[in-house]
A and B are shown apart, each in its own frame.
Chain A
Amino acid sequence: MDASIKNYYLAIGKIQKCIANAETLDEAFQGSLRIIIENCNAEQAVIWYADKSDKDRLHPYYWISPLDMMSRTHSAGEGAVGRVYASQKTEYIPDFKAAPDSFTAADFDGVEVGSMICVPFSNEYENLGCIQLITTSGNRSFTEEDADMCEIMVMMAAMAITDNEHRLVPWHGGEVVISLSDICREFKNGEVITKVLKGVNLDIYKGEFLVLLGESGCGKSTLLNIIGGMDQATSGSFTYMGEDFSHATQEQLTEFRRSNVGFIFQGYNLMPNLNAIQNLDLIGELVEDPMDSSEALELVGLSERKTNYPSQLSGGQQQRVSIARALVKKPKLILADEPTAALDYATSIEVLTVMERIVESGATLVMVTHNEEISRMADRVVHMRNGRMYEVTVNRHRAHAADLVW
């Protein structure tokens, strides 16, 4: 048997297994797409999903790409994605440069596309969307076998779509609070230069709960530091509310943090010699119109413990004080770095519940975590790998903290 055919069948088997084991459509799709990319040498891929309220509009729901596709949409029939969605026919473009469709090309603005495969998927009632895979220029282009395999695999994945899986209820990010473009961060240690971030493109929207997931050393904390104005990118652009902080001075960054950012740390980092309310007061005094410290503590359910010192509080309570401290400035952006890493499950849920409430109140929250279960609470989940955004998932259904299990 030809090796390629053998691989092809092996991949099919994997997809079948993935779909069978997947508990949700998202899992099935995302898992299948990963297998497809792995087996057809695709470098980037996007799952486009039809808007539930506007069936002619496709939104990116999941993508494996260093680009932030969130703000991009396609209309049915427009560009390769629109055409495939509308026609429900797979398109295979081996030489993208020769393709006339500028809309399709624009989907990967910033990446020089070499070849592309676009495969539609649907349930038994309606067209749901399509999957778009690309190779970049200079690398091997897709073959027809690849296109076939993709098509089969998508078909198989689509089989997992139940009646309940209708079109996407799109998440609208709204106003962009933070915009990161091609953010790179290098660290020099003697003559050794370590590139931690290698070109991150990400927009964070007002009221968004964004989770950054990834293995240790993938750059998620570094990215969080840059977002929080704690660190500066070696290159790339960082804007906050349209204001460019790429080359901000320390004073400007301090002002940025002071006025706009609340931090929640893994280790709580409360002032040990200040009691709970004093910890809040200390930070609240930095801004002109802070939240009342007692109110902030009440918000996190600790109004009874406000005179307690950190050493008199449990880990969860300390983290809740930490959250209250982040809130007291009424920041536009809350950054949380592994806020539950040091907590047990029950306490973590307590803390996450508080954070859920904060997000519901309209705050923008960016959380770094290892815990994929927590990412279910997010609007978007950014998986990072090797200094880049690797895949992004828009949660079609955000889980409640209380529903999380690990």
Chain B
Amino acid sequence: MKKTQIKELFSNIKATFMSFMAIVLFVVLSVGVFTGISWTSPALQRSAEEIFDEGNLCDIEIQFPNGLTDEDLQQIMALDGVDEIATGYSSLQMMKRNGKEYVTKVMSLTENINVPVQKDGRLPRNEGEIALNKSWAKDQGIKVGDTVTFKHDGSAGDRDGMKYLTEDTYLVTALVESPAYISYSLSSYGFANIGSGYIQCLAFTAPQSFDTSAYPGYTQAFIRSNMLRSSSTSDEEYMRLSQQLKDRISALGDNLARERYGMIWEEAKGKLEEGYEKLSEAEAKIKDAEKKIKEGKKTLAEGKAEYAAQEKKLARGLSQLQAGQQQYNTAKANYEKASATYKDIKKSRSQLKEEDLTYKEITEMNRQLNSFSKDANMKDFGSDNVAQLQGTLDEITEKFDEETWEEDTELTSAYRRQVLSDMDEAIDEGGKELASAKKELDKSDKKLKEGWNQYYAGAAKLKEARQQIEAGEKKLDKKIKQLEESKKKYEDGKAKLEDYEKQLSKIKDYDWTVLSREDNGGVLMMNQFSGLTENLRFSMAALFIIIGLLVSYSSISRIVRDQVVSIGTKKALGLRSREITLSYLAYSGAAVIIGGVLGLAAGSLVIERLLARPIGSRFIMGAYAPYFSTGEGLILMAIELAMILLTTWLACRSVLKQQAVELLKGEKPPSAKPRFFEKWKLWQRLPLFTKTVINNCINDKRRVFGTIIGIAGCTALMVTAILVNDNIQKSFERQYEDVYSYDTVVRYNVNYPDAEGEIAGALDKLGTESTPVYTGPYRLLQPDGRRSSVTVTVPYDEESFDNFVKMEPFGETADTEYDDGVWMNAAYSSHLGAEVGDKVEIMDSEGQIHEFTLQGFFKHYLLSNQMIMSREVYSNEFGQETEANAFLVDSGESGYQKVKDTLSGIKAVRMVKDDYKASENVFNEFSRITRAVIILYLVLSVLMAIIVLYDLYSVFIEEKKKELIVLMINGFSAGDARKYIYRDTIVLTVIGIILGIVFGVVMGNVTIMTLEPDIAYFVKGIDWFACIAGAAASAVLAVVLCAAALRKISAFKLSDINKL
């Protein structure tokens, strides 16, 4: 361009500054929006890459339930592209904390790969130490130095009778962030076949904390490849090379997995056979023992009978002995007594003299002898002689009294002598009798002693026999016990073998699950958001670009028309059309360059950051690394430049092809002509103002078109934004109004006896409606090769289930019942193109793949895949009946908390989930990001509307300036003149708004479709609120901006009429 042309360009820009700025602003918006949204994703990915690098995130992960062997690892290492490998174990555990249980994935640490980044403390080094993911620990208030405990009650980590972990209680040594789990969303951690079904906590511990004997080998391996280090995870090159490596490993895995399966099978089978052999030996031994015990029992019984007889005999002997003894004792006592009496008598006699025999002495002696003789025991002693003495004494007492005794001395002397003689005889006789009694007594004593000796010998023998019997009994009892134990062991062994046999039948031919970073939950979620922004950038930027182009066309057209005389003059002066066009191209080119540069700055510095913040807050991120691509920016600017230049050329073309002489006449006024309806009486009756408005609208097509398009565009932008936001929000509400009639899910442990009955009873008592189901998380293998999660639900009471989940058929689904097959949520059909009759594959927690035929799709508005099938379909595929493990509960007036409180005492209850709240949280998480985008969209839309509408109204007023001034000269007040404009404008605005609503509804629904993640199906269709709000916003903006533009009218200089 020549110097003068440049000067003219600047002069032109100055003269049409508002129009120039309108173009600049639209370029800023379209470039800014496109680049800002486009670069959000790479910026986030770069930040995430920092975490990947810091923790050496593996490029490939192999999961193999049958266990990798060292030989497998060697073969993997030998593959091209594998430079580093690490192995590990993992286990799902239930962590007990504050009366609650949390499903925890405990993983072994490796030295170099997938190393969690420690945020506090140090990584576990010893058995009994553990590191927890920081976000969860923070939520739970767990600090380094605290301890955590895992539950072992046969229902969780030790469900197979194996504990997997060596300890129950662990010391928290670190809080970490793992590069393998960058998303804060629990669903990205994966699923569990215990507890709530979702992994809630991540834990890392030293390998020695795992009981390796519980594992068939290394169940997971992590691989890093140097060839992938030159590119980042999101790069095409990385994905291509990663896929190649994945394919190589998968191919290797196909063979090794088969071999491993064969090996495990043989090994297990061998062990089983060996077990059965041992069992059979044990059975023989038990039988032998049983025989021996039987014999022993018989012998013991005989011994016991003999013992009883002997015991009886001995008792009898004892009885006799005791009688003899008693007799002996009596005899001995009598003897001793008699002997004592004898000695006394003998002693008395030796001292007794005749004179000593007084009457008193005689009566006393007689009394003693009477007493002695009356003594039964003593009556045998000296009876004859004593009787004689006694007779003598009796005669004395009969014949004499005390006085007479003394008086008759002779007689008394005779009697005295007789007494003494009798006494001597009795003493003599008594001595003899005593000696004889002593002899007899000694003989009896001897005999008795012999008897006692015999008794004691018998008793000793009997005791011995008793001891022998007791020992025999004990022995027998022991043997019986041993037998019972052996039998129990046998039964256990038998059961174990049967179980083992069952397990053997269950040993599955697992494949290696080879996962690249693309399959990582966090990366998947990041890619989901990247996809979201990817879709958004086109839908949003396209709107801004289209409307921007229209505005540019309108602005340039107006400038060209305003300068038509000038153009004519230039042509008349010899300038060629292309030279004149060049000046306008330079004009719009300058606007594009300025707008493009500002747009790139706005995109990278404002929009990119605005979007990155809410998305980034969902992930563990490194330092924010803004993304700016000069190449992309330049390409975009070049495209924008080409489009605007084309628009400019089109705008100039019609004017520049006219002859100079025509152009010099100035812009031709619109060539209105009579219309057919002007003859109608109705038309003629219309007020002149109405006619004017109608005529203006009919005849000034260019302006009318431009205005309507502008207003329609702005309205469409706002309707789109509000509709998208509103329908996404509405989707959640729709789900719980039209689809789900429950708000709470109660999961329980099926191992507890009558868990279902107890919970159902409690729920009934509370007055809440419920239906039992089996529900569990599975991996969905999508037709596009990607994986996502799906919740499988199997109703147990189909009639009541229908009251809890209303399955409105979607798409071409016939009106059939789900018991005919598998039904899936609408998103699976709408996003992945699945049709009725297609096969769908899901993978269980053990990696087994199950295939179903799709029977239908139902409308489902939550952010999750849902699969509903009948019990029959489930059992046909899984080969076993499933058990109900949950209740869908409509808490009704009781509310979730009351349901939870009511069930809190039931041990079997694993979790009472506020499904409504949980779904709402997921929705809010998603809508928080979409809302950020929508707010940005809305703000930019309003900004654009302000620019477009103000420009349109200003242009309109400028175009009508001459007419307005003429009217004002003729006596129209400024207010009248404004009416002339705004009545016209009202009509165009209303038409524009109506068209905008239509366009907005279409665009909004298209935008919703582009925003929908694969798992989502949002409400679509007309959203009256969005229509009204968008229309109202447009109308308000139109009124305000029109009023602002109309203020110009008051400032019109009527004297300018000659200049126009």
A residues whose Cβ falls under 8 Å from a Cβ of B: 221-222, 225, 228, 230-231, 250-251, 254-255, 257-259, 261-263, 265-266, 269, 271-275, 278, 281-283, 285-287, 307-312, 325, 329, 337
* Interface residue ranges of B951-999 to A (CB < 8 Å): 962-963, 966-974
Contact A286-B670, Cβ < 8 Å, known A274-B695, A278-B691, A281-B688: no
Cα A278 to Cα B690 in complex, Å, equals: 12
Residue of B nearest to A309 (CB): B672
Contact A283-B970, Cβ < 8 Å, known A266-B1058, A311-B669: yes
Pick from A257, A266, A271 the residue with the most CB of B within 10 Å: A271
Residue of B nearest to A265 (CB): B1057
4 closest residue pairs by CB, A with B: A258-B971, A230-B1054, A311-B671, A272-B669
Cα A257 to Cα B673 in complex, Å, equals: 30
In the assembled complex, which residues on chain B have CB atoms less than 8 Å from the CB atom of A221?
1055, 1058
In the assembled complex, which residues on chain B have CB atoms less than 8 Å from the CB atom of A278?
688, 691-692
Cα A278 to Cα B669 in complex, Å, equals: 17
In the assembled complex, which residues on chain B have CB atoms less than 8 Å from the CB atom of A228?
969
Is there an interface contact between B1053 and A231, defined as CB atoms closer than 8 Å? yes
In the assembled complex, which residues on chain B have CB atoms less than 8 Å from the CB atom of A307?
674, 678
Interface residue from B972, B1054, B1058 paired with A286 (Cβ < 8 Å): B972
Whether B699 is near chain A, meaning CB under 8 Å from some CB there, is yes
User: Could you show 16 A-B contacts with beta carbons less than 8 Å apart?
Assistant: A225-B1055, A231-B1053, A231-B1055, A258-B970, A258-B971, A262-B970, A266-B1058, A269-B963, A269-B1057, A271-B963, A273-B670, A273-B695, A274-B691, A275-B672, A309-B673, A309-B674
In the assembled complex, which residues on chain B have CB atoms less than 8 Å from the CB atom of A261?
971
Cα A329 to Cα B970 in complex, Å, equals: 9
In the assembled complex, which residues on chain B have CB atoms less than 8 Å from the CB atom of A254?
968, 971-974
> B701: shortest Cβ distance to chain A, in Å?
11
> A307: shortest Cβ distance to chain B, in Å?
6
Whether B696 is near chain A, meaning CB under 8 Å from some CB there, is yes
In the assembled complex, which residues on chain A have CB atoms less than 8 Å from the CB atom of B688?
278, 281-282, 285
Pick from A257, A259, A261, A307 the residue with the most CB of B within 10 Å: A257
Size category of the binding interface on chain B: 20 to 34
Is there an interface contact between B972 and A272, defined as CB atoms closer than 8 Å? no
Is there an interface contact between A257 and B970, defined as CB atoms closer than 8 Å? yes
Pick from B673, B700, B1050, B1054 the residue with the most CB of A within 10 Å: B1054
Cα A262 to Cα B971 in complex, Å, equals: 9
Residue of A nearest to B1050 (CB): A250
In the assembled complex, which residues on chain A have CB atoms less than 8 Å from the CB atom of B968?
254, 257
In the assembled complex, which residues on chain A have CB atoms less than 8 Å from the CB atom of B1054?
225, 230-231
B residues whose Cβ falls under 8 Å from a Cβ of A: 669-674, 678, 688, 691-692, 695-696, 698-700, 962-963, 966-974, 1050, 1053-1055, 1057-1058
Cα A275 to Cα B696 in complex, Å, equals: 12
Is there an interface contact between A310 and B672, defined as CB atoms closer than 8 Å? yes
Interface residue from B699, B700, B967, B1057 paired with A282 (Cβ < 8 Å): B967
Is there an interface contact between A337 and B969, defined as CB atoms closer than 8 Å? no
Residue of A nearest to B1054 (CB): A230
> A107: shortest Cβ distance to chain B, in Å?
34
Cα A207 to Cα B54 in complex, Å, equals: 98
Cα A266 to Cα B692 in complex, Å, equals: 23
Residue of A nearest to B1057 (CB): A265
Cα A152 to Cα B174 in complex, Å, equals: 125
Contact A269-B966, Cβ < 8 Å, known A278-B691, A285-B688, A307-B678: yes
In the assembled complex, which residues on chain B have CB atoms less than 8 Å from the CB atom of A286?
970-972
Is there an interface contact between A265 and B966, defined as CB atoms closer than 8 Å? yes
Is there an interface contact between A257 and B700, defined as CB atoms closer than 8 Å? no
> A387: shortest Cβ distance to chain B, in Å?
15
In the assembled complex, which residues on chain A have CB atoms less than 8 Å from the CB atom of B671?
272, 309, 311
Is there an interface contact between B699 and A325, defined as CB atoms closer than 8 Å? no
Residue of B nearest to A254 (CB): B973
> B988: shortest Cβ distance to chain A, in Å?
14
Is there an interface contact between B1055 and A222, defined as CB atoms closer than 8 Å? yes
Cα A274 to Cα B686 in complex, Å, equals: 14
Other A-B contacts than A274-B692, A329-B971, 11 sampled, CB-CB below 8 A, are A221-B1055, A230-B969, A231-B1055, A250-B974, A258-B970, A263-B969, A263-B970, A266-B1058, A287-B971, A307-B678, A311-B673
In the assembled complex, which residues on chain B have CB atoms less than 8 Å from the CB atom of A274?
672, 691-692, 695
> B750: shortest Cβ distance to chain A, in Å?
81
In the assembled complex, which residues on chain A have CB atoms less than 8 Å from the CB atom of B1058?
221, 266, 337
Cα A261 to Cα B1054 in complex, Å, equals: 14
Cα A308 to Cα B671 in complex, Å, equals: 11
Residue of B nearest to A308 (CB): B674
Cα A153 to Cα B688 in complex, Å, equals: 64
> B390: shortest Cβ distance to chain A, in Å?
181
Cα A263 to Cα B969 in complex, Å, equals: 7
> B338: shortest Cβ distance to chain A, in Å?
172
Cα A262 to Cα B672 in complex, Å, equals: 25
Is there an interface contact between B672 and A311, defined as CB atoms closer than 8 Å? yes
Contact A259-B1053, Cβ < 8 Å, known A271-B692, A274-B695: no
Cα A250 to Cα B975 in complex, Å, equals: 11
Residue of B nearest to A272 (CB): B669
> A150: shortest Cβ distance to chain B, in Å?
41
In the assembled complex, which residues on chain B have CB atoms less than 8 Å from the CB atom of A312?
673
Is there an interface contact between B695 and A269, defined as CB atoms closer than 8 Å? no
Interface residue from A263, A275, A329 paired with B674 (Cβ < 8 Å): A275
Pick from B669, B695, B962, B971 the residue with the most CB of A within 10 Å: B971
Cα A254 to Cα B968 in complex, Å, equals: 7
> A255: shortest Cβ distance to chain B, in Å?
8
Interface residue from A222, A272, A285, A287 paired with B672 (Cβ < 8 Å): A272
Residue of B nearest to A285 (CB): B688
Cα A337 to Cα B967 in complex, Å, equals: 16
Cα A278 to Cα B969 in complex, Å, equals: 17
Is there an interface contact between A257 and B672, defined as CB atoms closer than 8 Å? no
Is there an interface contact between A257 and B969, defined as CB atoms closer than 8 Å? yes
Cα A262 to Cα B674 in complex, Å, equals: 27
In the assembled complex, which residues on chain A have CB atoms less than 8 Å from the CB atom of B698?
273
In the assembled complex, which residues on chain B have CB atoms less than 8 Å from the CB atom of A310?
669, 672
Is there an interface contact between B962 and A269, defined as CB atoms closer than 8 Å? yes
Is there an interface contact between B700 and A325, defined as CB atoms closer than 8 Å? no
In the assembled complex, which residues on chain B have CB atoms less than 8 Å from the CB atom of A265?
966, 1057
> B971: shortest Cβ distance to chain A, in Å?
3
In the assembled complex, which residues on chain A have CB atoms less than 8 Å from the CB atom of B973?
251, 254, 258
Cα A222 to Cα B1057 in complex, Å, equals: 11
> B721: shortest Cβ distance to chain A, in Å?
36
> B371: shortest Cβ distance to chain A, in Å?
171
> A29: shortest Cβ distance to chain B, in Å?
34
Is there an interface contact between B971 and A259, defined as CB atoms closer than 8 Å? yes
In the assembled complex, which residues on chain B have CB atoms less than 8 Å from the CB atom of A230?
969, 1054-1055, 1057
Cα A274 to Cα B695 in complex, Å, equals: 7
In the assembled complex, which residues on chain A have CB atoms less than 8 Å from the CB atom of B692?
271, 273-274, 278, 282
> B97: shortest Cβ distance to chain A, in Å?
79
Cα A274 to Cα B674 in complex, Å, equals: 10
In the assembled complex, which residues on chain A have CB atoms less than 8 Å from the CB atom of B1055?
221-222, 225, 230-231
Cα A275 to Cα B679 in complex, Å, equals: 13
Pick from A255, A259, A278 the residue with the most CB of B within 10 Å: A278
Residue of B nearest to A226 (CB): B1055
In the assembled complex, which residues on chain A have CB atoms less than 8 Å from the CB atom of B966?
263, 265, 269, 271
Pick from A228, A273, A285 the residue with the most CB of B within 10 Å: A273
Cα A266 to Cα B1060 in complex, Å, equals: 11
Residue of B nearest to A232 (CB): B1055
In the assembled complex, which residues on chain A have CB atoms less than 8 Å from the CB atom of B962?
269
In the assembled complex, which residues on chain B have CB atoms less than 8 Å from the CB atom of A337?
1058
> A190: shortest Cβ distance to chain B, in Å?
14
In the assembled complex, which residues on chain B have CB atoms less than 8 Å from the CB atom of A263?
966, 969-970
Is there an interface contact between A311 and B972, defined as CB atoms closer than 8 Å? no
In the assembled complex, which residues on chain A have CB atoms less than 8 Å from the CB atom of B696?
273
Cα A127 to Cα B967 in complex, Å, equals: 53
Cα A72 to Cα B795 in complex, Å, equals: 115
